[in-house]
Chain A
Amino acid sequence: MTEPRVANPPGTLAASWIVARKDLAIEFRTRTAFLSALVFALLGVTIFYFAWDATAVSAADLAPGVLWVIFTFAGLLGLQRSFGSELADRAIDGLLGAPISREAIYLGKALANLVFVGGILVVTIPAVVLFYNLPMGEGIGALAGIAALAAIGLVAVGTLFSAMAVNTRMAELLLPMLSLPFFVPIVMGAAQSSARLMAGRPIAEAWPWLRILVAFDIVFVTACTLAFPYTLDE
């Protein structure tokens, strides 16, 4: 029996986009994971608000920390489901049998996670600005940029560890344990730079932290893309 051959197998970037669309389509069909993570993020911001002594710490001092810590944990929730759908019945074999590079699978999954995390940020950042009465305005563009950089780093590392953790007995515990040390430079860079921006300080002060974020993203997107094939059983 001859196997049907694909006439022109898609290149890596096109293949990534196909994998991402598949994952996002599955996600949007049910939306439960996204909505759960979203509600978790909003609840978290609320709880932090009530744990805050407004006379001791100003809103501008507290809000960046709250934002990026919540971002981390909501992101982890999203990452947990990343490879879960491929586990049942070895569905991942379908992906592996397709004529696409292993790196494309990783990039596609990461891209889907990026959309997921981005969606959460789009709601959470305005919520934080609202709850803490932060003076925004011009800073919103820079904040969006910081959020994008942070999300890329989080998703790069988290997608790779999700691929490994899903194959273990204690996936829900293992994913945070593996990922959180790696999230620390991201949270530091994002929190420190956004704190300075929210306090109205010149962008030059945030620059060293932004450079760390950019360097982190470049190093870890590359490293995780290269490492991903080694996490597959084949």
Chain B
Amino acid sequence: MTTASEPLPLARPRRDPLLGVAIVAVALVYVRALAFTPIEARQGPAQKILYIHASAAFIALYVAFALMAVCSILYLWLKDEKLDRVAESAAEVGLTFTTVVLLTGPLWGKTIWGAWWTWDARLTSTLFLWFLIVAYSLLRGAVEERGRRARYSAVLGILAALLVPFIHLSVYLFRTLHPMPILLKPSAPSMPAEMQVTFFSAFSAFLLLFAALLRARYRIATLRDLVASREEHAG
């Protein structure tokens, strides 16, 4: 079970340079994407949504959610509270990124498909990811005892990771058998060099932002658990 004594984080606030750097990086990417990247001829300026949409989508699924799943498995194996805090933080930050995907996706989709929502395979999978992380957060909110909360969350995290391939498969199968409106295929595989640079810069900047937000959220989790232990002792 969990112990009441933990290494004390400093009670006085610390400046976190990582977040500042990440914000500057994202701002620079914004400038580069909007002002210094050529406009794609067929899709128009809206194609630039790709740079923030695709970065957020990749990070939400393959970084945030993957981290959540891995920490869940490790927690059930090693029972280290820190793993539970990382999973919790990855989930919440991942939810933010997932929300960005779901907001930017339809805006882009409207310009290329002519419809705000078309049950596109990736967008639908992202919607499910959103539901799963919300369920994960609700579960955590509903369980008060720390050890049980961590165990339940870990179980859900692992099952959710197992579900994702089934959602992908089902939606893919659903789509191939149901014709969907596709007017233009988004972003052809070969992008001109300038766009590629923007693409990878955007990805790196948002990855940096994810790391910074994760660390900040982890700090909050640690502080919260510390306050809870102290309040239990105070009575």
Contact = CB atoms under 8 A, between A and B. Distances in A.
Interface of A: 157, 160, 164, 167-170, 174, 177-178, 180-182, 184-185, 188-189, 192, 208-209, 212, 215-216, 219-220, 223-224, 227, 230-231, 233
Given A185-B167, A185-B170, A230 B151 contact: yes
A230 B142 CA distance: 17
B156 interface: yes
B155 A220 contact: no
Interface residues of B, number: 28
B159 to A, nearest CB: 6
B173 A177 contact: no
B100 interface: no
Given A230-B151, A230-B155, A231-B155, A184 B139 contact: no
Interface stretch (B7-15, B127-135, B205-213, B223-231): B127-135
B166 A216 contact: yes
Interface string B161-180: 01100110110011001000
A167 B155 contact: no
A181 B128 contact: yes
Nearest to B151: A230
Given A181-B128, A188-B174, A231 B162 contact: no
B76 A167 contact: no
Q: Which of A167, A178, A208, A224 has the most CB of B within 10 A?
A: A178
Given A164-B139, A184-B128, A231 B152 contact: yes
Interface string B131-151: 110110011001100001001
Contact of A182 (B151, B159, B177): B159
Contacts of B166: 185, 212, 215-216, 219
B154 interface: yes
Contact of B159 (A157, A168, A188): A157
Given A181-B132, A181-B135, A170 B169 contact: no
Contacts of A169: 142
Contacts of B142: 168-170, 174
